[in-house]
Chains A and B, each alone.
Chain A
Amino acid sequence: MLHRRIYQFFIIYLLGLLVLFSVKYLLDLSDYVIPGIEDLVQTFRTVFSRYLSDVVDTISVAVIGQVISIFMATIVGVLGRQTTWFGSFIKVAAYNVQAYPIVAIAPIIFILFGDGFLSRLLIAAMICYFPILLSVISIMSEPVHDIEHFYRVTGRMRWQLEVKIRAFENLNKLTTVISGSATLAMAGTIVAEFIAANAGIGYSIRIALYQSDLAKILTALFLIGITLSVYQGLLEIVGYLVKKGWASH
C-alpha cells in the first residue's frame, strides 16, 4: 500500500514536470517563468531542509486537525443516525453548513484567533470535518437489516451494538474516507498558511510566490506530495490492521 502510494506520486510528479518543461521548451519561455532543470536541482538542494521542516510542521497541524475532526464527526454522526427529531436536525444542519465554503470563513478565524497555530488547526479541522461527517452519518443511519433484525426482535439491540455493527460492516468505506480526508486536512492547513499564517509550507509557498520563484514552489510541491503519500499509505495500513485485528478478535 505504502510503496504503491509513493510510486504513484512519483509518476504524477514527474509527468507534471514533463508537461512544464515541454511548455517551457516548446514556447521558448525564459528561466524567470519556468526555471531550467539545473536551477531546479540547485534550489532543491538549497531549500530542502528548511522546506522539509515546514512540511513536517504543516502535516503535524493537519494530523491533529484530522484527528479532532474524526472524533467530532464520529460523535455527531452517531447522534445524527437516529430517526428522531434531534437526529434529523443534526443531519440537516450538517448538510447545510457544509455547503458554505470554509475558506471563505478563514479570514474571520484569523481575525479572531490571530495567525498562529490555533487558526491553522481550526481551518484544517473544519475543512476535513464535513466530508467525514457526511460519510459517518450516511453509514450510521443506514441499517444493516440482515444483521440487526435478530437483535431488534429479541430486544438485544443497544446503541453501542448498532454503531459497532454499522462501523464493522462499512470499515472499508470508513478507512477510505479517513485516508482521503488526510488530503483535505493538509490542503486546509496549507490554505490557512497561505492566507495569513506565519509558519508552515503554505507560508513558504506564499513567500516563493511573492518572489515568483517557481523552483521553490515545485520543491514545496514535491515535499508536500511525498509526505502526504506516506501519511495516506500509513493510514491505509492502520485501517487494514484494524480490520484484520477486529476480524480475528
Chain B
Amino acid sequence: MFLECQNINFRYPNGSLDVFHGLSFKMKTPGFHALFGPSGVGKTSLARIIVGDINDYAGVVRSEGMQNLLYSYNLERLPDWSSVGKHLEKITPPSLIDRKNELIASFDMTQTMRNRFSQLSLGQQNRVNLIRYLLQDFHLLIMDESLANVDERTREKIILGIKDMFPDTYFLYISHNVIEVSKFCREILVFRSPQKSPQVVTVQGQDHKLGQTVAKDQLEQTMLEIMHAS
C-alpha cells in the first residue's frame, strides 16, 4: 500500500498561475503524515486531487492498495435536526460501536452527545466531524485543519489516540503548526512556491507516539529542516 504522485501539473480553470508544476512525491508507509506550507500553496488542492475531487490535472496519482480515500475539512457541519449523538449512531456500522464510544471518550466529547451541532463550540464541532470520519471504512484520511480551534493539550491527546487506534492507515494532516507536524508526523511534505523546484520537499518528522518522549534537540532539528525547506 503506497501513495504516489508523479509529475502533477495543475492550474484552476480561470486561474492565471500554475498551482502545481511537476509535483512528485511518494509515501511508502502508513502512518500520520503532514502537508505543510503557507496558505495558498496548494495543500487543499493536492488533497482534492488525491481523493478524486479534482480531475482536470496532468500527471499520475497512484494509491496502490487503497480503496477508500476520504477528505475532511474543518468547516463541515452536521445537520441540526437531531443531536450529534444521534447523528453518530446513524453513521456508525454495528461492528464499530465500541470504537465510536472509545473515540467519543478520547476526544472529550461525552458531555456533548445530547447537544445539536450548532450548540457546540468550534473546537467541539471539528472534533465531532473528525469522529464521524474515523468511523468510516477508509485507507487514507486527509484531515484539512480538522483540529482547528481545539486546544493544544486535547489536540495532542487526539492525535496520539488516532495513531494508536489506526497504526496501519494513512493520514494526511494539513496544518500550519510547525511544532505539531514536527512532533507527531512521520513524513512532512513541505510545500514551496511553484517557481521553486522541487515543489515539495519531504522532511522526516519525529513521529511521536503514545508513551514515548521526544528529544527536544531532535524536534528543533526537524523544525529547522522544515523552515529551511520552505
Binding site for B on A (CB under 8 A): 146-147, 149-150, 153-154, 156, 164-165, 168-169, 246-247, 249
Contacts and interface: CB of A to CB of B under 8 A. Distances in A.
B132 A165 contact: no
A168 B70 contact: no
Interface string B91-109: 1000000000000000000
Given A150-B76, A150-B133, A153-B51, 16 more contacts: A146-B75, A147-B78, A149-B73, A150-B72, A150-B78, A150-B91, A150-B129, A150-B132, A153-B71, A154-B70, A154-B91, A156-B91, A164-B79, A246-B81, A247-B116, A249-B81
A168 B71 CA distance: 25
Nearest to B90: A156
B136 A247 contact: no
11 contacts: A146-B75, A147-B78, A150-B132, A153-B70, A153-B71, A154-B70, A154-B136, A164-B79, A165-B79, A246-B81, A247-B116
Nearest to B137: A154
A146 B81 contact: no
Interface in B19-62: 51
Contacts, number: 36
- Most chain A CB within 10 A, of B79, B91, B129, B132, is at B79
Interface in B115-154: 116, 129, 132-133, 136
A contacts with B: majority SS: helix
A170 to B, nearest CB: 12
B80 interface: yes
A147 B79 contact: yes
A146 B76 CA distance: 4
Contacts of B51: 153
Nearest to B87: A150
B8 to A, nearest CB: 21
A240 to B, nearest CB: 16
Q: Which 6 A-B pairs have the closest CB atoms?
A: A146-B77, A147-B77, A146-B76, A154-B136, A146-B75, A153-B70
Given A146-B77, A150-B72, A150-B76, A249 B133 contact: no
Contacts of B75: 146
Nearest to B69: A153
A168 B79 contact: yes
Nearest to B70: A153
B7 interface: no
B158 to A, nearest CB: 18
B82 interface: yes
A146 B74 CA distance: 9
Nearest to B78: A147
